[in-house]
Structure 1
């Protein structure tokens, strides 16, 4: 199963939803697709969308999927990596009114450069989907001890 999630900020990501619809129609995607569509207005013909999911339903879809396709939301990427999922990141772009700026390109690039996710654009999603079948991405190393230590240093400095 492929889980698509585009976040919950008040921006559409119709471009990605249309691309997925076309890939299914052309039989480039044959897996079951579930999509959390947020504020997108496009209504796919070939797969089901749910505007907003409960946190438990969302987490369950991440746990159950074989592949996650997502915008460059750091929380979503990290949740998927906690569950050892293959992740394709398609950044939202300002020029399509999908976000206020293009910071998601930097996030996608940063994770993909470390070989933790695959970065894609809608124009090359088919080839990245094919690559996802062959590649083994690196695990993300969570380091809560370092984070807690740095947070404590910051808090101590506030006294």
Structure 2
């Protein structure tokens, strides 16, 4: 069975946590073969209750913040992440399939540009909270291109070019 890790970094993104921990989302994730979900809720107000799971619902584990989420990233088959550069690059750097969820409530969200650029290159998918369940049902994560390893300077230069900074 598959594991899902959801991260909002050090921010508050309660709409994502509420959406992914909803009964409907749990059923969708169960149908997609996920047996365990770990939610990293950051500084959010919503802290879903841990539960062991059953035939129709994956097991759920939640926490706010800890020193490093790399262990959770490495253990997961799919990462759902806020649009923070650190979280995205950590997940891609570990060779994981990534779905970035844009916080549509933030005005002038520059992080959206990073998600769009990486999606254009085929490294990840992105969506908003309102289309999260549809995206999970319809996206084929086997189509994503593995993220290049080992030369962050080249990747940074490439991103600068894609984003129009050079």
Which has a greater percent of strand? Answer: 2
What residue in structure 1 maps to residue 41 of structure 2? 37
Q: CA deviation at 1:110?
A: 1.1
Give 2:134's match in structure 1, choosing from 127, 133, 137. Answer: 127
- Structure whose alpha-carbon radius of gyration is higher: 1
Note the alpha carbon deviations across 1:76-118, whole angstroms, 9 max, x for none.
Answer: 111111221100001223xx3xx56311221211111111111
Aligned-residue RMSD, C-alpha: 2.5
Contact 2:4 2:77 in 1 (8 A): yes
Q: CA deviation at 1:63?
A: 0.5
| Distance change (3 Å), C-alpha of 1:66 and 1:108 | same
Note the alpha carbon deviations across 1:30-87, whole angstroms, 9 max, x for none.
Answer: 22110111111012256332010221xx111100100000011112111111221100
The separation in 2 between residues aligned to 1:87 and 1:25, in whole angstroms, is: 17
| Distance change (3 Å), C-alpha of 1:13 and 1:134 | closer
TM-score in terms of structure 1 length:
0.76
Note the alpha carbon deviations across 1:113-139, whole angstroms, 9 max, x for none.
Answer: 111111111121122212445532112
Question: Alignment length, in residue pairs?
Answer: 141
Structure 1 unaligned spans of 5+: 149-159
Structure 2 unaligned spans of 5+: 52-59, 157-166
The separation in 2 between residues aligned to 1:116 and 1:106, in whole angstroms, is: 14
| Distance change (3 Å), C-alpha of 1:126 and 1:140 | same
